[in-house]
Chains A and B, each alone.
Chain A
Amino acid sequence: LQLLVLASTLSFAVVGGVVGMRLLLLARRTRQLPELTIGLGLVLIAPLGYPLMLVATVPGFFPLATARMLYALAMALTSVGCASIFVFTWRVFRRDAAWARVLACCAIVVLLVQAVANSVLAFVVPTLEMMNQLNLWFLIRQLAMLLSYGWTAFESLRYFGLLRRRMRLGLADPVLASRILLWGVAGLLSFGAAATRAAIVATGGDPLHSAAAPLAIGAGGFLVSLALYLAFIPPAPYRRWVGRRGAAAHA
């Protein structure tokens, strides 16, 4: 199971990192906010913050002082990454909605405050394993992350529902619709993995030694990697297959 987690974390880190870098390079050319925020979110979470947080909490992997610093760094990286995903969802799906702007701004403040609090806590607790135990800041962090993944999944899947209806009238591109669906699926799977971790901790379990966490994180990591790859770097045969299916449905 630990090997499964390792392999899935690696695939998530590589695919998320490559997709994120491509999007950041695109943002450099276009100077547009959506590609900047989603690229930043993927680069800061997938290859940097998430793996760093995993290894920092493994007992004995690093000397405690180093582990504490790496954990604080991971907190900062994942929090800014999550905040970027909030901004992406707001600007892409609910640009004109005042409630979405308020939600995104509140979430950014909460993420930054909890990042500072959790970083301070990491230097105070006797061992970093204790950071995986239920406390107020752990709870706030998990809720903010769940909202980040859950909101982007909800908005993407809702928009995919609209595109499906448009496809019947020939008003939407099936490949594009599949891209939005896959981003929604990636968000939903990330939500599932984060929810599993939160549930294990809330019930007094240890995510590092639980059987459910590696399964959820392992399977989730592989599927998120696949969804990101197909959504942002779709290979030609996949695009042709989706296009043919869309054309058949339209006909």
Chain B
Amino acid sequence: LAESQAFDFVCTQLEEKTSLDRLAARGTVRIALKQAGLEARTVTREQLRVVAERVLPAELQARGVENCTELCSAIGRGLSRLAPGAATETPDEIFRRLGGGT
């Protein structure tokens, strides 16, 4: 299954700016997403920005990556500049409509 544009962006950034190879970078981001209850296929740039700032630093630190906090902040800023991906309706958005909003 295809991953979201934001997911690909973060993985590429990790590959370029750390010693992690492609597999390790993608695996690390997937683990961070899982902890946050998100999926690589549907995660949006806004959601991934929060994950990059609050979950990813600890995961990178556990893998011996230095300056994790600064790196993740830079990735978060990069995500903000990313064009919004194609919106697919998620189950929570559908349930919001079904209940007439909250």
Q: For the complex, is A59 an interface residue (Cβ under 8 Å from B)? A: no
A166 to B37, CA, bound (A): 5
Count A-B contacts at CB 8 Å.
71
- Whether the Cβ atoms of A179 and B99 lie closer than 8 Å is yes
Interface size on A, residues (CB 8 A): 34
- B88 — which chain A residues lie within 8 A by C-beta? 95
Q: Which of A95, A171, A173 contacts B102 (CB 8 A)?
A: A173
Contact with B along A14-47 (1 / 0, CB 8 A): 0000000001001000101011001000000000
Q: For the complex, is A153 an interface residue (Cβ under 8 Å from B)? A: no
- Whether the Cβ atoms of A179 and B95 lie closer than 8 Å is yes
Q: Which of A26, A159, A163, A170 contacts B98 (CB 8 A)?
A: A26
- Whether the Cβ atoms of A161 and B37 lie closer than 8 Å is yes
Interface residues of B in 75-90 (CB under 8 A from A): 88
A35 to B93, CA, bound (A): 12
- Whether the Cβ atoms of A166 and B99 lie closer than 8 Å is no
- Whether the Cβ atoms of B95 and A180 lie closer than 8 Å is yes
- Whether the Cβ atoms of B92 and A180 lie closer than 8 Å is yes
A163 to B39, CA, bound (A): 11
Main secondary structure of the interface of A (DSSP, over half): helix
Contact with A along B1-16 (1 / 0, CB 8 A): 1000000000000000
Q: For the complex, is B97 an interface residue (Cβ under 8 Å from A)? A: yes
Stretch of A66-74, A122-130, A231-239 lying at the B interface: A231-239
Indicate the member of A34, A161, A169 with the most B CB atoms within 10 Å: A169
Interchain nearest-CB distance for B93 vs A (Å): 9
Q: For the complex, is A92 an interface residue (Cβ under 8 Å from B)? A: yes
- Whether the Cβ atoms of B94 and A26 lie closer than 8 Å is no
Known A-B contacts A163-B37, A164-B37; A234 and B97 likewise in contact (beta carbons under 8 Å): no
Interface residues of B in 38-70 (CB under 8 A from A): 38-39, 41, 47, 50-51, 54-55
Known A-B contacts A34-B94, A169-B50; A239 and B102 likewise in contact (beta carbons under 8 Å): yes
Indicate the member of B41, B91, B92 with the most A CB atoms within 10 Å: B91
Top 8 A-B residue pairs of the complex, sorted by shortest distance between their CB atoms: A165-B37, A162-B37, A166-B37, A175-B102, A34-B94, A179-B95, A92-B91, A176-B92
Residues of A within 8 A of B (CB): 23, 26, 30, 32, 34-35, 38, 92-93, 95-96, 159, 161-166, 169-173, 175-177, 179-180, 183, 231-234, 239
Beyond the given A23-B98, A34-B97, A166-B36, please list 14 additional residue pairs across the A-B interface where CB-CB is below 8 A. Answer: A35-B98, A96-B41, A162-B37, A163-B92, A164-B37, A165-B35, A165-B37, A169-B54, A171-B37, A173-B96, A173-B102, A176-B99, A179-B99, A239-B102
